[in-house]
Amino acid sequence: MIVRPIEGGLEVLAPAKLNLFLEILGKRPDGYHDLESLMVTVDLYDTLTLVDDPSGEVTLRCDDPSLPTGPDNLVIKAAQRLKESSGTTRGVAITLNKAIPAQAGLAGGSSDAASTLIGLDRLWDLQSSPETLDQIAASVGSDVAFFRQGPVAVCRGRGEIVEPWPIFEPLHFVLVCPPVGVSTAAVYRNVVLPETPRGVGEVLEALELGDLTKLGRSLFNRLQPVAERLEPSLGAVEAALAGLVGPLLNGSLMSGSGSAYFGLASDRDAAVEAARRLATLGLGRVRVVTCDP
C-alpha cells in the first residue's frame, strides 16, 4: 500500500491480492467459512484520494457507476467506523478510481477499505494503535485486515487472523481477468467441505526456500472447481494458462472465488512472454504483475 501527500489531502494506492493457496476448513456458526490461505499483494492498484472535509461529512465518488457509493460500500463503512471509534468530528471527501475488477477474486473492495483506514488515520492524525485498526478492519470485511499487514501473509479464521510471512525476492505473475465475474456468495454456497483439508505447509516451505518450481506445483485453491462449474466459460482461461506451465510458467491458479487467474513465472521476462501469448487469445484483460518484498 502506497500513501503520498497531495494538495489538501492524501493519495492512497490500494493493491490487488492473489491467493497462492486457499483451503476451506469448515462452516462456522455465523455463516462464514473457516479457511487457511496464503495471500500476496501485487502492483495492480485502485487509487483513492482523501481530502479533509471540515463539515464532518464522509462522502464517496467513484468512476465506476456500477458500484454503490452509500453506506453499503466498504470504503464508507471503514471511514465511518474509524470516525466512530476515534470520536473525531472531522470528515473526508473520498474519490475512488477503480482499476481492480469486481467479482474477480482480487479483493479490490477490501483493499480499498484497508487503504481508507490507513489513509484516514494519517489524514486525521489519529495515531490509532495497530490493534484498533485491525479490529475495525475485521469488522468491515474478511480480507480487510490482510492489506494492513501485507505484502505476504497466511490468513486464517474467516480471513481476519493474519500472520505476515517474509519473502526475499519479487514474485512475477501473468494475470488474466476475464470479462465475466463470479459471485463469491454463490461459490461458497456450493463448495463441498473436504474430509481431510490440505495444509499450507508445502507452499510456505517452497516460498521460504525460494523454490519457484515447487511453489508452482503447490498452488491450490479449493474454490476453483466450484467457480468453473458455475461459469463454464472460465475453462478456456484455465486451459490456456495450463498450456504455458512448463515452457514459461511454474504453475497457474484461480485467485479466490474467481474469476481472475494467474500464472507464476520464474522471472519477469517469462511473465511478459506469457502475457504476450495470452493477449492474442481474447480471454480478457492480461497484464504482468509483481509482488515485491
24 Cβ partners below 8 Å, 6+ apart? 33, 34, 35, 191, 193, 194, 197, 222, 223
The single residue of 17, 77, 83, 98 carrying the catalytic annotation is: 17
Identify whether 269 is a catalytic site residue. Answer: no
Long-range contacts, 228-235 (Cβ 8 Å, 24+): 228/254, 228/258, 229/190, 230/182, 230/183, 230/186, 230/187, 230/190, 231/180, 231/182, 231/258, 231/259, 233/178, 233/180, 234/178, 234/180, 234/182, 234/258, 234/259, 234/261
Identify whether 143 is a catalytic site residue. Answer: yes
Backbone angles phi, psi at 288, to 5 degrees: -95, 135
The single residue of 46, 121, 134, 143 carrying the catalytic annotation is: 143
Nearest-10 Cα torsion for 65, 66, 71, 72? -160
What is the DSSP pairing of strand 91-97 with strand 58-62?
Answer: parallel
**Residues noted as catalytic:** 17, 143
